[in-house]
Structure 1
Amino acid sequence: MRQPVVMGNWKLNGSKAMVTDLLTALNAELEGVTGVDVAVAPPALYVDLAERTLTDAGSAIILGAQNTDVNNSGAFTGDMSPEMLKDFGATHIIIGHSERRQYHNESDEFIAQKFAFLKENGLTPVFCIGESEAQNEAGETEAVCARQIDAVINNSGVEALNGAIIAYEPIWAIGTGKAATADDAQRIHASIRAHIAAKSEEVAKNVVIQYGGSVKPENAEAYFAQPDIDGALVGGAALDAKSFAAIAKAAAKAKA
């Protein structure tokens, strides 16, 4: 039985006060909640403070990060390695986010390298895939998602998806207030799972596939009621403890 994962991607937001206040409030909101894994991915500068805050609170919240390099050391100014992220207790690392693909020209092949290197270092890739608005309107959604997944499978084999998380995020729904309907999201999630199943039914059955893109407390329940949607990668709503906790609670309730 797959356990849903609800992860907050804080993106380029935060301050010392915000990190401690948000995590303290979130930990309180989630007290007694079971049946869902909850994770946060603060900006790199605040991973240390987030780790200390969560440890001091005895929190079960999982610490993540928003990116990684494909080297553990060397002359790579400005980058951070999986080894460094592990040193600060981060386990769930977002890769392939559309903003990295767009603003940093990260290719499918480079993201597949990141995926492989995270696995090599014992970390959990949170592997983002998804189509643009133009691709969606052209009916190319399933082909785009398949291509992005195949970059990882071709590089590492389908078994590499074991223990990883796939986050389907239609680019046109990220931070726009637009969101795929629960039925549309389910259709794409089922298609992703079927694509993986063509190579390994066992891997497909067990892999966690999140939905991302303007997920809010108001629409979360409808997503999580779908059989192939295993939680969410949450942006804006993750910056508010009550909203983010409500999404996590909806996931726990739906999969109970």
Structure 2
Amino acid sequence: MAAHLSPGTGSLFDAPTDGPGDHHAHVFAANVAGTPHPRYVPDYDATVAEYFAQLDMHGLSWGTLVQPSFLGTDNSMLLAALADHPDRLRGVAVLDGEDPRRTCPDIADWHARGVRGVRLNLLGSTGPDLSRPAWQTFLDDMAAHGWHLELQIPPEAWATWVPILADVPCRVVIDHLGLPESVDAVPGHPLLALAVLPHVWVKASGSYRCGPGAARAMYEALCSAGTDRLVPGSDRPHTRFEGRATGAWEFFGAGEFFDAGE
């Protein structure tokens, strides 16, 4: 593996424009799935126009579209949105687990389109084998282009993935504050040790996906540990938590907690 990238000066990637941004949101069409057995398929549209309205409401200049798991490796809607709005959007794609180049044959081309990362959703999946030669070379290319590897990790997968993520050559981003199940699970949580590594970032997002009070406890524990590689995400439109996504925007605003609602 290549050496880790420099942690930089507080920016996970080059933003499309000046000003504060949102690091995690989704767009999709109603009742569309790209995988054979999705855990959840929304029955409504989540449009770019609606997302921009939310960004404007919260005083944010730009956003990051993350490919939702139910669309699989069909990143066409994400890429189309990036092409239509290069001045306001960046993207994180989902690629083939056996060989990422089957989905993204030219990383420089996708970089020019606005893609800045690759997501692995490990909920209900063991994830790809990153020791495969196809992934080894692709991860090196990701590092060269400043891309990050983004993961949603359930509690039972942490023991397997911590040593893997400690050794990858590119930046690593952990979704939703590591999904702690409870406040009691925060002390000694594997994320606290992983997050001190200079190539690891954490998305302060999706507090409603964590146990009661656990997101805030994890956020404060990470801050106390000294990491400044925390970026806020709205997780809009809050799939599976529509209408009950309390605190969706609470991590915006200079690290202060507030609930601006929808």
Normalised by the size of structure 1, how large is the TM-score? 0.57
Count of aligned pairs: 210
Alignment match, 2:130: 108
Distance 2:183 2:233 in 1: 12
What is the SS of the residue equivalent to 2:251? helix
Higher RCO (C-alpha 8 Å, min separation 6): 1
Equivalent residues in 2 for 1:1-256, closer than 5 Å: 2=10, 6-8=23-25, 22-31=47-56, 33=58, 38-42=63-67, 43-55=74-86, 59=88, 61-67=89-95, 70-71=100-101, 76=102, 80-94=105-119, 96-98=120-122, 102=126, 106-110=128-132, 111-120=135-144, 122-128=145-151, 130=153, 133=156, 141=158, 143-152=159-168, 156=169, 160-161=170-171, 164-167=172-175, 180-182=181-183, 184-185=185-186, 187-194=189-196, 196=197, 203=198, 207-210=200-203, 215-216=208-209, 222=216, 225-228=219-222, 230=230, 231=232, 234=235, 237=238, 247=248, 249-253=249-253, 255-256=255-256
Distance 2:242 2:47 in 1: 6
Whether the 8 Å CA contact 2:117–2:150 is kept in 1: the answer is no
Which amino acid is 1:45 matched to?
S
Whether the 8 Å CA contact 1:131–1:144 is kept in 2: the answer is no
Whether the 8 Å CA contact 2:65–2:91 is kept in 1: the answer is yes
Distance 1:123 1:19 in 2: 34
**Do the aligned partners of residues 38 and 29 (structure 1) sit closer, same or farther apart at CA in structure 2, a change above 3 Å counting?**
same
Which amino acid is 2:24 matched to?
M
Query: How high is the sequence identity, in percent, across the aligned residues?
Result: 8
Distance 1:54 1:246 in 2: 27
Whether the 8 Å CA contact 1:36–1:252 is kept in 2: the answer is no
Distance 2:46 2:26 in 1: 16
**Runs (5+) with no aligned partner, structure 2:** 1-8, 13-21, 33-42, 68-73, 224-229, 257-262
What is the SS of the residue equivalent to 1:30? helix
How large is the RMSD of aligned CA atoms in angstroms? 4.7
Distance 1:82 1:36 in 2: 26
The structural deviation recorded for 1:34 is: 5.7
Whether the 8 Å CA contact 2:177–2:215 is kept in 1: the answer is no
**Runs (5+) with no aligned partner, structure 1:** 136-140, 174-178, 197-202
The structural deviation recorded for 1:83 is: 2.8
Normalised by the size of structure 2, how large is the TM-score? 0.56
